[in-house]
Structure 1
Amino acid sequence: MNEDVVCHDEQGVARLTLNRPSSGNSLSLSTIQALHSHLDRLAQRKDIGAIVLSGVGQRIFCAGHDLKEIRERDDAEFFSSLSVECSAMMQALQSQPQIVVAAIDGVATAAGCQLVAAADLAIATTRSRFATPGVNIGLWCVTPMVALSRAVAPKHAMQMLATGELMDAEFAVRIGLVNEAVAPDAFEARVSQLAGQIAAKSTFTLATGKRAFYRQLQMSTAEAYEYVGEVGVRNSIHPDAIEGIQAFIDKRPPAWRGRA
């Protein structure tokens, strides 16, 4: 059984933990496949509203691809396969019906930084650091660039890609790579609070909203308004919207049906 990624869930929140501390929680091919497999399985869970993605330990969230594995294989075919598998997994984070929260305590570099950029939300500790350092070893971080350049302003993305410099958590918050940075002793409580707050919502509404959010970003303003109008109609007649409005009127907690 692959233990590269550990999964457990409680009260509507699933936690996926990268579990390769001796390799900096790096993304070997088997780790990428395990993570993607967990995401596919969780996508079918109608009771899960949020996924927290973290790395074991307090030093490295994820050091990117496993360079030892790449060096040992040392062929274009393997690197091509690795790139395809990793890209598919990163895209699965965005197509996931649940809200994905990256929880970073430590260093997130290269594909590890890509995980942060690809997640819907990100909470970091103040001691966390972020980089796309491929340029330092002669490799432009091409796949991390895709997620990074869509998460932050182009000049900030280029700054990280061209310098390979480790940036602190304050910089990551300022450019929008992470939502907030908290003290290490408040980190777990904040991550749990945020994930729990999201998971308490209707899983139907979360999935509908997340899908609409990313789709409308790719449209013109006029197309986006037309599209969300259609989404809004479908959303408004769902039992959870009807229940939510009635619960608000009755001043009681709603009883969600969730994704059918």
Structure 2
Amino acid sequence: MTIHAAARVLARSDEAGVATLTLNNPARRNSLSEAMLAELGQELAAIAADPGVRAVVIAAAGPVFSAGHDLKELTARRADADRGRAYFAEIMNRCAAVMQAIVRLPQPVIAEVQGVATAAGCQLVASCDLAVAASTAKFCTPGVTIGLFCSTPMVALSRNVAPKHAMEMLLTGDMVGAEEAQRIGLVNRVVAQERLGEETAALARRLASRSALTLRTGKEAFYRQREMALPDAYAYAAAVMVENMLARDAEEGIGAFLDKREPRWEDR
């Protein structure tokens, strides 16, 4: 295992092609502060360019996965001449860039949720490709209770959860348990707290064993086609599949299946 020097609020470790980014500021409830967003952005950019990383896990230290934006940090800027307008816009745009970086990342990303994920913390979970939650984990978008509708978390939430369920979370701010989060599509799996790391690692290793080219192709196509009209989506997906069929890994994978042997991926 390679362990990178711990960042101030984010830690990274790498093992067997899986990079784990751990939100590491439990004293501030792993809030998506300026520092956290900056370090997440930097690590995601580095991972995107690293062919040695085949899957990513986003985890957190302490009892809270992430409480979302750092409200103290935001409130302090109300003293600015523009009452914080420019700073608020900068932070929201920076957060949106991080969430989109997760979606655009060539590698699949798994959220490992050990505790409470609220507001932009819930947005972070929804932005990941997959999510494994401890049975004690909870989720909510509580902005409405403090007069600040969770509009940016809504973007990721509404792309994962059915509209009625998303609206209920956004309009009430109520906490949703792990089992309910799985039922409505926010998380994939719910496991016992003591098995969370093991289950997430097993899933990450399984993804890392696939052709990196195939996963990259499929992930990009998934997010692009779902924003298209049905005929356009089929036309686009068909073109992607043709190119995928011509790739070396598809030739190898199909040959290995027919020969009843394990494939040898070249990621091309």
TM-score bracket for the superposition, by shorter chain length = over 0.9
Of 39, 64, 69, the match for 1:65: 69
Look up the match of 1:103: 112
Deviations 1:87-141 (A, max 9, x none): 1111111111110100100000000000011111000000000000111111111
Shift of 1:33: 1.2
Does residue 1:193 correspond to 2:202, yes or no? yes
Look up the match of 2:151: 142
Look up the match of 2:130: 121
Q: Structure 1 length normalisation: TM-score? A: 0.96
Identity across matched positions, percent: 50
Secondary structure in structure 2 of the residue aligned to 1:26:
coil
2:121 counterpart letter in structure 1: G
* 8 Å Cα contact 1:132/1:164 also seen in 2: yes
Structure 2 unaligned segments of length 5 or more: list them.
1-5, 79-83
Deviations 1:30-70 (A, max 9, x none): 2101101111110011122211001112x100010111111
* 8 Å Cα contact 1:54/1:61 also seen in 2: yes
1:105 counterpart letter in structure 2: Q
Q: Structure 2 length normalisation: TM-score? A: 0.93
Matched residues in 1 for 2:230 and 2:87: separation? 41
2:93 counterpart letter in structure 1: V
Look up the match of 2:32: 27
Matched residues in 2 for 1:220 and 1:72: separation? 44
1:1-260 aligned within 5 A: 2-57=7-62, 59-74=63-78, 75-258=84-267
Count of equivalent residues: 258
Asked which structure has the greater RCO (Cα within 8 Å, sep 6+), the reply is 1
* 8 Å Cα contact 1:46/1:258 also seen in 2: no
Look up the match of 2:3: none
Matched residues in 2 for 1:138 and 1:225: separation? 42
Matched residues in 1 for 2:215 and 2:8: separation? 29
* 8 Å Cα contact 1:103/1:123 also seen in 2: yes
1:24 counterpart letter in structure 2: R
Matched residues in 1 for 2:23 and 2:208: separation? 21
